[in-house]
Amino acid sequence: MGADLQALKQTNAKKTQKRAVMLHKVYEHSELIAALVSGLIILIAWSLEGFLSPVWWVILHLTAFTVGGYAKAKEGIQETIKNKDLNVELLMIIAAIGAAAIGYWTEGAILIFIFALSGALETYTMNKSSREISSLMKLQPEEAMKLTDGEEELVPVSALEVGDHIFVRAGERIPADGMIVKGSTSVDESAITGESVPVNKANDNDVFAGTVALDGSITVKITKPSSETLFQKIIQLVHDAQDEKSPSQLFIERFEGTYVKVVLAVVAIMMFLPTIVFGWSLSESIYRAMILLVVASPCALVASIMPATLSAISSSAKKGVLFKGGVHVENLSNMNAVAFDKTGTLTNGKPKVTDVITLPGTDHDYIIAAAGAIEKESTHPLALAMTAYASKHAAHDFSAIPVTEVKTVSGNGLTASIDGVKWEIGKASFVGAEKAAVFHDGAADQLADEGKTIIFVKAKDTIVAMYALKDTIRKDTKKTISALKKQGIHTIMLTGDNKQTANAIAKEAGVDEFVAECLPEEKVDYLKQLRQQHEHVAMVGDGINDAPALAAADLGIAMGEGTDVALETADVVLMKNELPKITNAMNLSERMNRVIKQNIVFSLAIIGVLIISNFTQLLDLPLGVVGHEGSTILVILNGLRLLKA
């Protein structure tokens, strides 16, 4: 009995859920449904024209007016009251009522139908552009398993605080940003970075909300509130981008109010002036005034920009490029120069061992293993690189080498003892500048000229090895720089590194020029000079020291793995850290601007042709309605093409 009752409850719950989903879909498409119902009513009235009484004829058309025009009439009235200014929605309602007032009920109803249909298309564009956000939000769990004194408790993610510990089982999504304090797992970070290859994570590694712990359970210490996770920042960036309007859109909106007033004034004059001046009948003057009211409305012009902009933002978001507003999409294709930070932007930001030279007659493998064992005791980036090199290339098991008495000499290197032998690892001055200079016939100078950092290994009193390390450029850096140059864009590298290293990286990357030993404030000064030379300049960076330059540039572009400050300061974020996305986004920006220009020219041309045709009495109201509203639908559909860009 209890099992049957439970099954019945589950069935009812599923039915309720299905009804809720269905109701949501109906609500989401309510504008389109209303427009189509309005059109169906008009079709019924037209097909039964010979059988309907005048009363039913009027009732059906009034119903079509109400069903199709309610949403737009409500929007127009509310916006007029709020902004104390006339708008296109109100103009269309007046035009439809005017057409009905002079006996053209069907034409007025068709005007409402097509206007409602174009409005539904614009709403579809907005819903489509925000669908990416909805899918992202579904990826973040709403509950987390909180650990308190060893006890597990399921709590809302919003209730978690910084410092709390949560338990994430294998196969579960991580509900909040934090740091692993126990356990290890492979993490699928594709929702954040777009990379399909899982990343191995263990103690002290950071993990992010919305990612998946694949093959191991972990305990995570919360490091950020739920409202400030990287996931939430991505969602907020796209939300903000949809709300921020481009200069073209703002101009059109300012223009709209004035234009509507002018049209209404001209319509009022045209109701009587042609009768006095040209001898038209009063009914003909009023009829032509109503046509003018329809065809002169700037619906297509108003719809020329926003659907295209939202489509471009949505298309970019799907591909890992987040714009913080339409203004930035519009501006990107205008850039004449792009300045890049070096470390973490053009380069990977992590040094790698490129060359190892050992003293002839010594055990090459043992020296690599010994150096790796000693450097394992340090967390310095160069030490980590040398340890990583040893783990891949040493034939000996360096973890078994008995390293003792490890000491860090700040700014110089490490000393340690292996089987009673003193080892020293560090820069030339630390192991002996004179000996370092002549090691391997002075090979250090040549490697340093290539922009590499040189580390020497000394055992007893003899230098036994020399390591060359370099922050290697990203695999797609050359491709990006080359593509920008082909578009006629000047490329510059700004770095705080020394001239020798900067010169080597600049040559390898292929940038037009570089500035070395550049402090954050000097980057800003140099950007100001670039703006004077090239007018429109973008800055690409990832670190805290890049934030002032990102803010000073005409357009700031941040790498997705960059610091929070860089992400917040930038106008565009490359979430997948792929530099070629810059040129792809520039092409999309150029295409969007081209579509907007097409829409504006087309809509103005149609308005001009329709107005002239009306004054020459070549246009009737039905054709005016189709021409005007048809052009509105066409410009919206033209903008929607960018969703697949």
Known catalytic residues are 341
Q: Which two tokens stand for residue 398?
A: 């360096």
Q: Which two tokens stand for residue 120?
A: 């539904």
Q: Please check whether residue 122 is in contact with residue 306, taking contact to mean a CB–CB distance below 8 angstroms.
A: yes
The Cα–Cα gap between 288 and 296 comes to 12
The Cα–Cα gap between 171 and 185 comes to 10
Beta strands in 237-382, from DSSP E residues, in sequence order: 321-323, 337-341, 347-358
Residue 574 contacts by C-beta under 8 Å, 6 or more apart in sequence?
Answer: 320, 321, 557, 558, 559, 560, 581, 582
The Cα–Cα gap between 611 and 278 comes to 17
Q: Please check whether residue 242 is in contact with residue 129, taking contact to mean a CB–CB distance below 8 angstroms.
A: yes
The Cα–Cα gap between 296 and 294 comes to 6
Pairing mode of beta strands 165-168, 218-222:
antiparallel
> Which DSSP string do the residues of 145-203 spell out, in sequence order?
EEEETTEEEEEEGGG--TT-EEEE-TTPBP-S-EEEEE--EEEE-HHHH---S-EEE-T
Q: Which of 494, 554, 496 is nearest to 526 (CA)?
A: 494
Q: Which two tokens stand for residue 91?
A: 């103009």
Q: Please check whether residue 465 is in contact with residue 369, taking contact to mean a CB–CB distance below 8 angstroms.
A: no
Question: CA separation (Å) from 218 to 185, 207, 496, 623?
Answer: 7, 10, 39, 68
SS3 of residue 351 by DSSP: strand
Q: Which two tokens stand for residue 621?
A: 């109201």
Q: Please check whether residue 39 is in contact with residue 65, taking contact to mean a CB–CB distance below 8 angstroms.
A: no
As to burial, measured by CB atoms within 10 angstroms (0-12 exposed, 13-18 middle, 19+ buried), residue 469 is buried
Say which DSSP state 412 is in: T
Beginning with the edge strand found earlier in the chain, give each strand of the sheet holding 337-341 in spatial order: 321-323, 572-574, 555-559, 537-541, 337-341, 490-494, 513-515
CA angle (339 as vertex; 333, 343 as ends), nearest 5 = 130
SS3 of residue 17 by DSSP: helix
CA angle (325 as vertex; 321, 326 as ends), nearest 5 = 100
Question: CA separation (Å) from 327 to 12, 313, 416?
Answer: 49, 11, 58
Phi and psi at 467, nearest 5°, equal -105, 140
Q: Which two tokens stand for residue 434?
A: 């004179």
